[in-house]
Structure 1
């Protein structure tokens, strides 16, 4: 028996040494040794680090719990499981998914004090992950710009954002929802405790998100709970309207998701028990049964505000106390350096209605019929603001209309409000990008080839390793242009270039495209005033 135990212990030790022997770096953290592997030419990657305990079982609809000291906190197989989501029509991932990844220059030491970039992935709060997702991964900032980079998974969909009155009583906060944002907060706390061991400076952290990741970054910026956890915010194409009141969210989820689920008809404690016992795959599939969000609303324009959206960020009076525009208007946000952006044709990504070949009459008739649904006579006014002659293609014109109604005008207002409340030592930059993609190979996301500056194109170009599309030479140049500006901002909070000026100076934007950016005065003043005067903030485009 003793001989058997000796052999068994030897085999266990040998297997562990075999794993470590193919790795190049070891970093000691609060929860033990983290193993890294050389990647690229100058970077080391530490993948699949557990930053919170599994949100499973009795902890499904609860805030994340910190990892205990001494707990095994790395999944050596790679990035760690993604959070549950639909992938190619099938449920993928695991509830045990709260992992993050770190990339650092291989020369980094505990005294390097390098800037830290924390990437928050997008995906509508229902898809993607901090590993090699549709966006690619952000390690290029570590490889080429000498900083430490972190990405994380966070809970998605119903498991990440379900708000229900029945769940409020079982949550220590007294509210429900926003679990995915609480996960992001937990990862930032992990960064504060551990990033110095990887060469990073915990007092020099930038959060960077795109799409729903950018909405998350703005929500973190507007939250009292994030004080001291980061020092700059980058928000690319943020759907800042991706938020509901807690009351509305609870009502929508009850009559939408719950009534379509296997918990239909249950209330109170019986409903809570049912939700905790439900297989996680049902939370993924039921989104697609009940949400009006996916479809016309996502790729086009509805004729009325919709209900039964899949779970959104909520004003829960715990994490966030008011809408994002109101937070920035009232000065209730972390006073950090800000960089905000959008693409001029965000919606050119699989539009609900392709109108590339429309005549001038067809284009005008579409606009008139669409907007007269909102208010009689409104269509002619819209056409005067977006006439056929202003665009090289009617698709481009309609894309700009939906973009302005959606992220552009809301971000424009949010930025103006932020500028009024930022102290003089903090900067706010805006860029708008009309850069057209130069796509090689198959068309992006199916059969429609995006022709204009579509949603996600700037982040694809910045990372330059996305599996979704093969970048052309001009795309790569464009990505480098943005990345060089972002790296300056991440390191200093400033961008030293004649083409970049803080927004607070004369309401200036950077018009960002190859061959080079230029400064312009606010290009959306008249149009955004029109949409605001006609009550279109409630139709905000969300992604």
Structure 2
């Protein structure tokens, strides 16, 4: 009898272990079977949130995914979007590259659908030309261990995600074209509203976040009348869709660029023929197309975006949610302005004169360069401001004035261990994208870097800020350096995340106000 009881008990344990290792969740479209991470976090990968955008669905809004019968395996990543290998720091874990790429991934600590945990939806960077939700540095396991249901989301890129054409506008029920990548993100947010409770998430506590093009995407989703009611908070790491950083262009201009591309790089005579071009051939054609204007750009289409982002934010028509936004201390190097010239005071002044003409002296007052060291520091600052800092500043500044919610601004200054040693008297800082692993708790995703205890401490602090914000709309908590919020009329302070993390007062507002005059005229 005891033997039978023991065997029955052992069998029960075995079945329980098997179920635990292969957790199942029923969503609107059917039953999913995921996996279990070593930490005990349940993960569901490669979940389709829209039909494959192929064939006649190329350059159309994402369409609802078809239901399935039985159990769908969700234990591996889906395909990454079509793209060229533009960035050397991207390491995908995807099933491969395909136009069939609209998949998302979920990591959850919840063991039931009743827990109503806060939700993070993360959009990857890559200039709207590259990237994938399978990248290890975006992995959601670490955030899930902090009590958050974390998602990464794929969206169409380049010519597949941001191609405008008069025929596309004509066939669209919304008289819109381009913006398919942003509409993919919107569809994913709709999926979250419908399904996230099954994973233990609260659809009323959804924070969207992203870095670079992902941050730009966050600013767009905040501005869009389609998505602004679907989110409770927003995090932007370096970037907003504001001139000069991938700002949407008028739809008519996008259509002209699309016509020019089709005429120069394809033999297609109709939209049907454009859709019939094999995905790899279309990718190659787009990569070879370099006219004066970008061929693939988001548009102010009257549907996703009725107006430019500055117009929407200054009118207070954006999502009125707490915002955490910031940038890195040296987003790009001084060569962005100096090109191949030596960073001497003479060459620096010449470069500023070429860029700003009659206003060069104003720039030299704001970004002085009287010595080589000062020229390097100022050229780095000017390069970074022109690349992505100004647009991020403008976004945060406008939202603090009209959003009615706190804005928390940061500067990330921690150098990665792999960065070259700092030369005395020469400015070095944290480069573009170097904060991602710290913020998401994923230092281990890059084993090639010799992370130190100092790096792990900075990561713990930064991830804690992010997690607290996702949970409460406020990054502060006991044991962390106090991070002051910016509200309308308040003094602008920010947190400087570095080996010694501390709050600081804004010193560079005059620079941004000058650039405001330059970029808001265009």
Q: TM-score range by the shorter chain?
A: 0.7 to 0.9
With over 3 angstroms needed to count, the CA separation of the structure-2 counterparts of 1:337 and 1:289, relative to structure 1, is same
* Secondary structure at the counterpart of residue 470 of structure 1: coil
Q: Is the 8 A contact 2:326 2:393 kept in 1?
A: no
Which residue, 379, 383, 403 being the options, matches 1:422? 403
| Alpha-carbon offset, residue 406 of structure 1 | 3.2
| Alpha-carbon offset, residue 111 of structure 1 | 0.9
Q: Is the 8 A contact 2:344 2:371 kept in 1?
A: no
Q: Is the 8 A contact 2:468 2:474 kept in 1?
A: yes
* Residue aligning to 1:502: 485
* Residue aligning to 1:479: 459
* Secondary structure at the counterpart of residue 234 of structure 2: strand
* Residue aligning to 1:223: 224
* Residue aligning to 2:4: none
Q: Is the 8 A contact 2:163 2:178 kept in 1?
A: yes
| Alpha-carbon offset, residue 170 of structure 1 | 2.2
* Residue aligning to 1:49: 47
Superposition map of 1:42-441 within 5 A:
42-70=40-68, 74=72, 76=74, 78-87=76-85, 93-105=97-109, 107-132=110-135, 135-143=137-145, 145-241=146-242, 242=246, 243-255=248-260, 257-263=261-267, 270-291=269-290, 307-348=292-333, 358=342, 362-388=343-369, 394-423=375-404, 426-439=405-418
Distance between the aligned counterparts of 1:71 and 1:315, measured in 2?
40
* Secondary structure at the counterpart of residue 479 of structure 1: helix
Distance between the aligned counterparts of 2:447 and 2:258, measured in 1?
32
Deviations along 1:308-354, one digit per CA (max 9) or x if unpaired, are 22412211110011111221111111111111111121113985867
Deviations along 1:257-279, one digit per CA (max 9) or x if unpaired, are 2233223xx5xxx3212211111
Distance between the aligned counterparts of 1:468 and 1:67, measured in 2?
37
Which range moved further: 189-198 or 466-475?
Answer: 466-475
| Alpha-carbon offset, residue 200 of structure 1 | 0.8
Q: Is the 8 A contact 1:211 1:236 kept in 2?
A: yes
Distance between the aligned counterparts of 1:73 and 1:220, measured in 2?
33
With over 3 angstroms needed to count, the CA separation of the structure-2 counterparts of 1:485 and 1:391, relative to structure 1, is farther
| Alpha-carbon offset, residue 78 of structure 1 | 1.2
* Residue aligning to 1:4: none
Q: Is the 8 A contact 1:240 1:407 kept in 2?
A: no
Distance between the aligned counterparts of 2:470 and 2:156, measured in 1?
26
User: Structure 1 unaligned runs (5+)?
Assistant: 1-16, 293-306, 444-449
Q: Is the 8 A contact 1:437 1:452 kept in 2?
A: no
Deviations along 1:37-84, one digit per CA (max 9) or x if unpaired, are 111313111111111111111111111111233367945461011111
Distance between the aligned counterparts of 2:486 and 2:75, measured in 1?
45
| Alpha-carbon offset, residue 23 of structure 1 | 4.3
Distance between the aligned counterparts of 1:170 and 1:137, measured in 2?
38
| Alpha-carbon offset, residue 163 of structure 1 | 0.9
With over 3 angstroms needed to count, the CA separation of the structure-2 counterparts of 1:89 and 1:404, relative to structure 1, is closer
Q: Is the 8 A contact 2:319 2:403 kept in 1?
A: no
Between Structure 1 and Structure 2, how many residues are aligned?
483
* Secondary structure at the counterpart of residue 115 of structure 1: strand
With over 3 angstroms needed to count, the CA separation of the structure-2 counterparts of 1:409 and 1:386, relative to structure 1, is same
| Alpha-carbon offset, residue 509 of structure 1 | 2.8
Distance between the aligned counterparts of 2:450 and 2:200, measured in 1?
32
Superposition map of 1:9-24 within 5 A:
23-24=21-22
**TM-score, normalisation: structure 1:** 0.82
* Secondary structure at the counterpart of residue 209 of structure 2: strand
* Secondary structure at the counterpart of residue 118 of structure 2: strand
| Alpha-carbon offset, residue 498 of structure 1 | 5.5
Q: Is the 8 A contact 1:348 1:455 kept in 2?
A: no
| Alpha-carbon offset, residue 519 of structure 1 | 2.4
Q: Is the 8 A contact 1:205 1:232 kept in 2?
A: yes
Distance between the aligned counterparts of 2:71 and 2:447, measured in 1?
31
Is 1:491 the equivalent of 2:468? no
* Residue aligning to 1:530: 514
With over 3 angstroms needed to count, the CA separation of the structure-2 counterparts of 1:460 and 1:351, relative to structure 1, is farther
Q: Is the 8 A contact 2:219 2:240 kept in 1?
A: no
User: Structure 2 unaligned runs (5+)?
Assistant: 1-14, 89-95, 422-426
Distance between the aligned counterparts of 1:193 and 1:509, measured in 2?
38
Which range moved further: 457-466 or 277-286?
Answer: 457-466
Q: Is the 8 A contact 1:119 1:152 kept in 2?
A: yes
CA RMSD of aligned residues (A): 2.9
